[in-house]
Amino acid sequence: MTLAGRKRLYTTITVAGLVLAFCVGYVLPLDRRLTTFDPWQTGDWLIDFSAGPVRRGLLGEAIFFFVSDGSSAVIVATLLQTSLALLLFLFVGALYLQSDRTPAWIMLVLSPAFLLFLPLDTLANARKELIALTALAGAAYSYRLGRANVGLWLAFPLFLAGVFSHEGLIVTAPAFAFLIWTAIPRRGAWPLLIAYGAATLGSLFLAVLRPGGASAVGTICESWTSRGIDDCSGSLSTLGVPLEVMTNHLWNELFPTYWIYLFPAGLAVIPLFAVRFLPRQWKVSLLVVAACAPLFFIAWDYGRWLFLITSQLSLLALARSKDLRPLRVPLFGAGLFVLVWGMDHWAEPIRHGVFVRFLNLFVS
């Protein structure tokens, strides 16, 4: 097969994979999500300021500003989640087309720790990290096109909304700082660094000064009930759980099983070595991992945190694709990596991959 023929084959495989992944992760569950309140996924987006300014409440306050009843809020939140996911997939697809489109990039884009994680775990694919990752993907695409300054300013409002809607998203700040520092002359970089830094610190201060608590949860729950939402469990309930209770459950109940997450963590970095982002960019990679590290000590969703780390590093690798010379990976090897494994966002460190799940459709 000629080089041009191989490129067409690789592009067809990747684009088809992205389309199928988006359809399975977001199109097929859409009808159920539009009509059903999920206390974890939808509830995460509807925490509001009924009890005054509180961490994670900005987005819910904005949604309830435009709609007053719970069923309409569920629809708005679901459409927002789906739209952000669509943008994320489109940006990654566009970034892939800007690469040399070898099997190594297929491994990265369709990694079960990156975009393939989203359809493989539909119980955790509509959380607020979509906001920051979509902003980062847009910034990465503009970076790849040589328009980083414009892209990073356009991404800033989304980053701002993200960190004030979930304080955990401040861990993505180093990835944005890397794009700013490596693409923009210092004079133009400082305003961006100050803007992103101020948003990060503001979110952190809000989380410390207005963390929530049982009283705030009760007030928000009453507001939800008046709007027709009668389930205050899930994400809202965790707003009132003391940190020591969460950490005790993590370390006393979930370990030693959670050590198994080291296995998917090891698999997740293979594409980054295959495209030679690692070890070349080890400094920013270490910074991204260090920023996310506290999440592993205080919260249970280890699969989500691995996805968050892998996604950031994968987007940075795609942004720098013109400077990278990937290893020669056989298409069979890339396919094997993509299809045979998966991970859950919590509790199950290793799950069946796409291939086994496909076979189960005919066996069950």
Domain ranges in the chain are: 3-363
Task: Give the helix/strand (H/E) hosting 190.
Answer: helix 186-209
Residue 326: is the preceding peptide bond cis (ω within 30°)? no
What is the C-alpha to C-alpha distance for residues 179 and 148, in angstroms, rounded to an integer? 8
Q: Give me the count of residues in the chain.
A: 364
pLDDT of residue 287: 97
Q: Which residue has the higher pLDDT, 315 or 350?
A: 315
Give residue for tokens 């491994």: 107
Task: Give the helix/strand (H/E) hosting 341.
Answer: strand 341-342
Where residue 357 falls among pLDDT bands split at 50, 70, 90?
confident
pLDDT of residue 117: 97
Q: Are 336 and 329 within 8 A, CB to CB?
A: no
Residues of the chain with pLDDT > 90: what percent? Answer: 88
Residue 256: is the preceding peptide bond cis (ω within 30°)? yes
Residue 126 burial (CB count, 10 A): 26
Residues linked to residue 341 through DSSP beta bridges, in sequence order: 352
Per-residue pLDDT averaged across 11-37, rounded?
Answer: 96
Per-residue pLDDT of 118-154, as tens digits, reads 999 999 999 999 999 999 999 999 999 999 999 999 9
Per-residue pLDDT of 72-118, as tens digits, reads 999 999 999 999 999 999 999 999 999 999 999 999 999 999 999 99
Distances, alpha carbon 117 to alpha carbons 49, 109, 127, 335, in Å: 32, 11, 13, 15
Where residue 364 falls among pLDDT bands split at 50, 70, 90?
low
Q: Are 1 and 9 within 8 A, CB to CB?
A: yes
Where residue 347 falls among pLDDT bands split at 50, 70, 90?
confident
